[in-house]
Amino acid sequence: MQKRNILFVGFMLFALFFGAGNLIYPVSLGMEAGTSYLPAIIGFVLTGVGLPIITVAAISLVRNGAVELAGRVHPLFGIVFTSIIYLAIGPFFGIPRAANVGFETGISPWIGGVSSLGLIVFTIIFFALVFITSLNPSKLVDRVGQWLTPALFLAILGLVIGSFFLLNGDIQPAQEKYSSQPFSAGFIEGYLTMDAIASLAFGIIVVSSFRDRGITDPRELTYRTVQAGSVTAVGLTAVYVSIGWIGAKMATEGEYANGSAVLSGAADLMYGNIGTLLLGVIVLLACFTTCVGLTVACGQFFSKRFTSLSYKKVITFITILSFSISNLGLNEIIAYSVPVLVFLYPIAIVLVILTFIGSAFDHSPYVYRGAVLLTSLVSLYDGLVEFGFSMSFVEPLISSMPLYQFSLSWVAPALIGGIAGWLISYMKTPKTAHDFSS
């Protein structure tokens, strides 16, 4: 295969991941982490970049994408879990978040700040256009994305270069969670990009691209997927590290409600109204294409899985729900998305790991079930704590688990559950299968 084809697929995957919403979290991290920026951004990159690429590689090992991967636990679990993933990256979090970033970056600087009325008017117009475009997207979004993603990348490059010469703020001491455990705080913050769970949906697109180019051998397919993923990883890491540094430099320039406001503020400080306008327009268009793409993806998935639902009915529901949630505001969307993602991510990680090592236990469903069950119990606890529920009666047990200080307390239970599942599978196997004496 020609290298340019690998680069092309790598750039395509970069474009899929690189929604405007991904800009706001590393910027916020930079502002809050300050002098602890390096360990914090390393943790962020591990979950914000590493996990998505590994997940795409895992998808290359199965023929039917995320449904088959999760279906190894149970066919019903495969459908339910994948449906939850699509709802998370779609109307519950991903689409409303992108709409709010578009509003706060592209509109609010020109109307005197964020207002409830302004957001309502904007989202009515925005989602009407999203719905109309999603009815017959054809190649409109793809063509816009071909020039929009490079334009957004160049705008970010301009901000980064300008930050070294035009921003004079000093790096501040780390705030709150980043002062004591910057790595684990950054690790959890990387969940918010949602790219690891989105890659469960996007992975099949990458695999199909290579299959269309004549690659059918499973090993070569995985190898080429990893190569393309490496291209994507370099681009995402460069973006996250760079704009995170902008956040660190902006800490002394004022108080900002979120990363979107920081980016707008940085553009204004460095380049004035022209910079704010340019960044706003590009981000607004990127948000629009992201929302259309996610709406179409959800519409296609649910209408194919549930034949009683037409594509038009699904995108109508997706659009109305996205509009409703968008009007909660960006900070509220981020706040309630964290607990859900804290619950979902460990399950997704365990499924990916089991996919890679599954040949060692013949992909026994008992291993999958044991590992996923115990992982789910711990991640459910972590999610409820993030929601604000008091779980003091369980906390001593959870906090005593290995890797707790790195927000990885689910690892030991996942291992125990997997081993227990393997023992059950071993005992259920006919004895003749274990008799190697002959």
User: What pLDDT shows up at residue 140?
Assistant: 58
Map tokens 């996610």 to a residue: 294
Average model confidence (pLDDT) across the chain: 86
By mean pLDDT, which of 138-152, 234-248, 274-288 is the weakest?
138-152
Whole-number pLDDT of residue 438: 41
The answer to whether the CB of 266 falls within 8 A of the CB of 163 is yes
pLDDT value, residue 437: 45
Distances (CA, A) of 7 to 34, 121, 137, 236: 34, 41, 25, 14
Which has the higher per-residue pLDDT, 188 or 318?
318
Per-residue pLDDT, averaged over 63-79, amounts to 89
Instruction: Quickly state the pLDDT bin for 41 (edges 50, 70, 90).
Output: very high
The pLDDT tens digits for 322-361 are: 999 999 988 888 888 889 989 999 999 999 999 999 888 9
Whole-number pLDDT of residue 431: 57
Helix residue ranges per DSSP H, 72-139: 75-87, 94-106, 116-135
Using 50, 70 and 90 to split pLDDT, how confident is the model at 13?
Answer: confident
- Which are the contacts of 61, defined by CB distance < 8 A and separation ≥ 6? 218, 222, 355, 356
Asked whether residue 126 carries a pLDDT value surpassing 90, the answer given is yes
The fraction of the chain above a pLDDT of 90, given in percent, is 35
Amino acid in the structure at residue 226: V
**The pLDDT value given to residue 263:** 85
What's the whole-number mean pLDDT along residues 25-49?
92
pTM: 0.82
pLDDT of residue 364: 93
What mean pLDDT is predicted for residues 48-52?
92
Give 204's Cβ-side CA count (13 Å radius). Answer: 15
Q: The tokens 């970056």 sit on which residue? A: 105
pLDDT category, 3, cuts 50, 70, 90? confident
Identify whether the C-beta of residue 134 lies closer than 8 Å to the C-beta of residue 298: no
In the chain, the domains with their CATH numbers are 3-327 (1.20.1740.10), 331-438 (no CATH)
Task: Say how far apart CA 378 and CA 5 lie, in whole Å.
Answer: 42
270: tokens are 């460095």
In whole angstroms, what is the distance from residue 325 CA to residue 120 CA? 11
